[in-house]
Amino acid sequence: MKTSFSAVLILLLVPAMARAQVAVEADARGVARVLVGGVDVLKDVGVAVVKPGWKGDLANQRTADPSEVSIRKEGDLTTYVIPLHEPFAGVLIERIVRQKDEVRLEFEAIPDEEAEIEAVVLRGALETAEHAGKTSYFIGDDEAPHGVLPPALDAEHYVVWGGRPRWIGFEKPEEQGLRIDPGDARIQIQDDRKWNAPHFSLMAMTSGGEVLARKPIRISLAFKAQAAGVLAKEANASGVAAGSDDRPLAIADARLDRDRVDVFAPVTIDLDVHARYENPFDPDQITVDAEVVAPDGRKTSVPGYYQSPFQLERTDRAETLKPAGPGGFRVKYSPVVAGRHSMTIKVKDASGEVRSKPLMFTAVASKSPGFIRVAEKAPHYFRFDDGSSYFAVGENVCWANDRNPLESYENWFGALGKAGGNWARLWLAFNEKGLEWMPRPTPKAGTGSYQGLGRYALDNAWRLDEVLRIAEANGVRLMYCIGTYGEFKDGGYFNEGSWVSNPYNAKNGGPCARPQDFWTDETARKLYKRRLRYLVARWGWSPFVFAWEFWNEVEPNPAVEAWTREMAAYLKEIDPNRRLVSTSYGSPPIWNDPNIDFSMTHMYGQAGNVLDFTSRIHRETQANLKFGKPYLLAEFGIDWQAGDQKWDPQGRAINMHNGAWTAIASGSAGTAMLWWWDSYVHPKDAYQVLTPVRKFTDSIDWANNPMKPVERIAVEGPADAPETFHDVTVSASKEWGRTPSNRHEVNRDGTLKGGPVAMTLGSPKRGGDGKELYSEVVWTLDMPQPGKVLVRIGEVCTSARLRIAVDGREAVNRALTTGEPGKGPWKSSRLLEPYKVWVASYDEDVAVEVPAGRHELSIANLEGDWLQVRSITVPSYRSSRFPDVDALAVAGDDLMVLWVHDRNSTWRDPYSGAPPDRWAGLKLTLDAPADSSWRVEWWDTFKGDVVGTVETRPESGRLTLRPPAFERDLAGKLVRVR
């Protein structure tokens, strides 16, 4: 590392107007203090250049020799030039600039030579004697967090706040506040009592790394005084502005925003309510409801909600939500039938109940298809209220972790809708659209003005209004996923555990001493129902809210299952439109509940271990259709640990394409929904996959044609072609746990009987009857000729003993050990920290000779802990008479949907350098009614065009299809014509 460095610090001071009363004073080194109304707020404000790894300072303005500092004053500008010496020679320039009602501190650090630094830090101190437990801090950002500088040190969470705010402020009650604009710097407030220093530090930091000689590193702060209460008012306005007063309970004003509205479009009533309450979100303190009477006399109860208006401001740096008026109660309702309606508002607080006069409006017929339901005629599919079909085509678009979230949603939904997407899944879990979380400071802070348990972040609610508006404008229906499993754990692979900041946690004042208490505690259930009521009240009017999803990936158990049944029943009771309800993960008790409308699963590979998900998606779909409800593969990706861009850097999107078409032909009610929306789909423009999918699915009346998967489709190659044999590789598909069976058979056409396959084998102490793992997997093979079967070993935990036998005769008995990297036969190893044991990756093929004919190959783990069997490869097994092609279909009495797929067309195939195979002369046969006749349309799945049409009839109950020549895959739509 080079150590020569020149730095100049320039301080610019502009006189404040009398009303601002902010001043910056500096000593002979330029070390400053900031005063508001003549009172010190920040002291010891100066710059340091920090060593890499935060191991001390390379240079610090505070240690400069005042005799070497030159000072120049020109009107409202004061400039300091501060030489810095070894080990980090350079110049620091400081300017103090006074302009109108603010004062700016500007710094430039200029190295003489190349240097490596951690950061340039501008630091000021707020003394704990003056500020601890007394001074509030405010963050001017779209999330508008605020809090009080802690009275006592929490050593584990000494960072009070950090981020890149538009501004930051400090204020004591009844005193003027200090507002600070940090420019582009990253800000951190930390409690230095952790290091026995009696102050808080406000730090403005630049990024580190290698800096070039004579290239300035700039950092600045601008200070402005604020009248007492201004900062607090702005922060509180973005949180809860309860409208409680002492006047008698009354509805002072209730007006419809229109008296004529389209069916399925909303009418809105904003209310002026005089009532006594402290928390406007607590139905025990105040409830606002509307009773709607439809033209036929049917009555519907519609919950109202509290809201605050906001205004979106955009700069080059970030979006900001600013309060745009007082909060109040609102009712929003979409009529579902045409005709004259009446609405009566009811308000109840502790003093009693009042009702408004009926408010009248007329609903007129519209082109909107309405809300989405389960199709009665075809219960594995969805329909709209008008009876038309809805097939979900889309992806996950769960959060926007950037400073311009609404702009991101505009870009994402704009591209998704243009490509034909009509479905997206949102997360509401303490991100920029969440409602309920602990306010800052908290270790796992969310985005938004969170207010803790039972109070909701109104800025986020307003933003979710906008997200819904953007989705509707682009034709995208949204599934609201309310929470995620990380709320109930700590740690996690992605550090997703957030129980420490969950407002239900007893340590945060909540009712639950342990995460599992959430499911059974009466108070917790009551508070969660309160949040459900708010969700229904604020967004239940919209047909573009496709469904409520309780959880992302919460593992079911009896307590979770009972909780889910209770909450699903409650949602159906309070949602005027009784929209769809689901959750993930589920279980038979959950999927069989009448108030759960469809099932979902998630599916990923790991580290690129699955090239083709076709068979897995097909099996998973068939297993879920047994519940008699629609099914969605709601998350999907090559690797759960890394985005699809890692494996598909060119964005060919073959995996997304295959997942979509497999789901269609397997009986799903939507496409396989890819997860990596922000890092893969949008930057790689993978949306193009969905355009032909949407064209194809729009051509099919799913809601009125009950179909089920076709079990027996024979695929044959050209009869006159020479017969050859090819290796078959079958990969394990369930990384952990037992599968329905541990006995599998590889068919001569390369397909698998008895899947899915468990990857992990436990020793007798971990595996066996009733345990979480199998100890043995048995394969039936019908070898056309003798050969070496390759058993691919993956990871081993602690130790294991691999035994492979052919027809009971032992062929392999091998101890597999583990240890530190490079100290054994393994390729790599890692320490499993929670258990202090080694996991070694062998990534090795073990060869076993198997004679010709039918044999059983058993693979077992005899001792130790666990081992992985990632795949088996059977040599020269599949005859060319059986092409390496999948054929999947769903069929009903009058309609069939078919997909034919080259199994070698996978996400890795485009990078092999070889062109895809061209399949010609194939013959497909499947069951069909003997007296039927079918029109067959063959579709190009990449263009969405019909490439051939033919009529055909079955013979002896089997329909023969001869698809046109194709590469990669081909879809078919078969319509019965007589």
Cα angle: 274, vertex 280, 282; to 5 degrees: 125
Q: What mean pLDDT do residues 425-438 have?
A: 96
β-strand pairing of 8-14 with 90-99: parallel
3-class SS of residue 261? strand
Contact 34, 119 (CB under 8 A): no
**pLDDT-derived band of residue 8, with 50, 70 and 90 as boundaries?**
very low
Cα distance between residue 863 and residue 761, in whole Å: 10
- Residue 818 neighbours by CB distance under 10 Å: 25
Closest CA to 572 of 542, 594, 546: 594
Closest CA to 145 of 236, 224, 222: 236
Contact 225, 176 (CB under 8 A): yes
pLDDT at 235 over 80: no
Q: What mean pLDDT do residues 489-506 have?
A: 92
Q: Which two tokens stand for residue 706?
A: 């009950």
213: left (phi over 0), alpha (psi -120 to 50) or beta: beta
- Residue 692 neighbours by CB distance under 10 Å: 22
- Residue 825 neighbours by CB distance under 10 Å: 10
63: left (phi over 0), alpha (psi -120 to 50) or beta: alpha
Q: What is the pLDDT of residues 909-924, one digit of tens each?
A: 988 888 999 999 999 9
Q: Which two tokens stand for residue 413?
A: 């939904």
The predicted structure's pLDDT at residue 1: 32
pLDDT at 881 over 60: yes
The number of residues in the chain equals 978
Q: What is the DSSP string of 941-959?
A: TTTTEEEEEEEE--BTTEE
Cα distance between residue 1 and residue 4, in whole Å: 9
Q: Among residues of the chain, what percentage have pLDDT more than 90?
A: 75
Closest CA to 227 of 274, 167, 172: 172
Q: What is the pLDDT of residues 301-318, one digit of tens each?
A: 999 999 999 999 988 778
Q: Which two tokens stand for residue 752?
A: 């698998």
pLDDT at 246 over 60: yes
The predicted structure's pLDDT at residue 281: 96
Top pLDDT among 751 and 945 is at 945
Cα distance between residue 533 and residue 716, in whole Å: 57
The predicted structure's pLDDT at residue 770: 76
Q: Which helix (H) or strand (E) holds 42?
A: strand 39-50
Q: Which two tokens stand for residue 224?
A: 């402005």
pLDDT at 207 over 80: no
* C-alpha distances in Å from residue 424, one per residue of 322, 399, 477, 571: 28, 11, 6, 21
β-strand pairing of 267-274 with 167-171: unpaired
Contact 743, 778 (CB under 8 A): yes
Q: What mean pLDDT do residues 730-745 have?
A: 92
pLDDT at 9 over 50: no
**pLDDT-derived band of residue 377, with 50, 70 and 90 as boundaries?**
very high
Chain-centre distance of CA 438, in angstroms?
Answer: 20
pLDDT at 894 over 90: yes
The predicted structure's pLDDT at residue 922: 95
**pLDDT-derived band of residue 401, with 50, 70 and 90 as boundaries?**
confident
Q: Which two tokens stand for residue 323?
A: 């309060």
Contact 615, 739 (CB under 8 A): no
* Burial (Cβ within 10 Å: 0-12, 13-18, ≥19) of residue 503: buried
3-class SS of residue 590? helix
3-class SS of residue 34? strand
pLDDT at 52 over 60: yes
* Burial (Cβ within 10 Å: 0-12, 13-18, ≥19) of residue 148: middle
Q: Which two tokens stand for residue 809?
A: 């005769």
Beta-ladder partners of 898: 889, 972
Closest CA to 451 of 786, 143, 72, 43: 143
- Residue 389 neighbours by CB distance under 10 Å: 20
Q: What is the pLDDT of residues 761-796, one digit of tens each?
A: 999 998 877 788 999 999 999 999 999 999 999 999
pLDDT at 703 over 90: yes
* Burial (Cβ within 10 Å: 0-12, 13-18, ≥19) of residue 350: exposed
Q: What is the pLDDT of residues 169-183, one digit of tens each?
A: 999 888 899 999 998
- Residue 316 neighbours by CB distance under 10 Å: 5
pLDDT at 148 over 90: no
The amino acid at residue 972 is G
Q: What is the pLDDT of residues 262-281, one digit of tens each?
A: 999 999 999 999 998 889 99
List strands edge to edge, sheet with 885-891.
Answer: 708-709, 885-891, 895-902, 969-976, 934-940, 945-952
**pLDDT-derived band of residue 4, with 50, 70 and 90 as boundaries?**
very low
* Burial (Cβ within 10 Å: 0-12, 13-18, ≥19) of residue 209: exposed
3-class SS of residue 716? strand
Cα distance between residue 480 and residue 476, in whole Å: 13
Rounded to the nearest integer, the mean pLDDT of the chain is: 92
Q: Which two tokens stand for residue 130?
A: 């003056």
Cα angle: 850, vertex 854, 860; to 5 degrees: 55
Q: What is the pLDDT of residues 324-358, one digit of tens each?
A: 888 899 999 999 999 999 999 999 999 999 999 99
The amino acid at residue 701 is D
Q: Supply the DSSP symbol for 774.
A: B
The predicted structure's pLDDT at residue 140: 80
The predicted structure's pLDDT at residue 594: 98
- Residue 604 neighbours by CB distance under 10 Å: 16
Maximal CA-CA distance, the chain: 106
The amino acid at residue 796 is V
The predicted structure's pLDDT at residue 141: 67
Q: Which two tokens stand for residue 535?
A: 């969700």
3-class SS of residue 267? strand
Q: What mean pLDDT do residues 155-164 have?
A: 81
The predicted structure's pLDDT at residue 238: 47
Cα distance between residue 444 and residue 488, in whole Å: 12
The predicted structure's pLDDT at residue 20: 47
Exposure b/e, 894-929, CB count within 10 A at least 16 = b? bbbbbbbbbbbbbbbbeeeeeebbebeebebbbebe
Percent helix, strand, coil in the chain, to 5, is 15, 40, 40
**pLDDT-derived band of residue 650, with 50, 70 and 90 as boundaries?**
very high
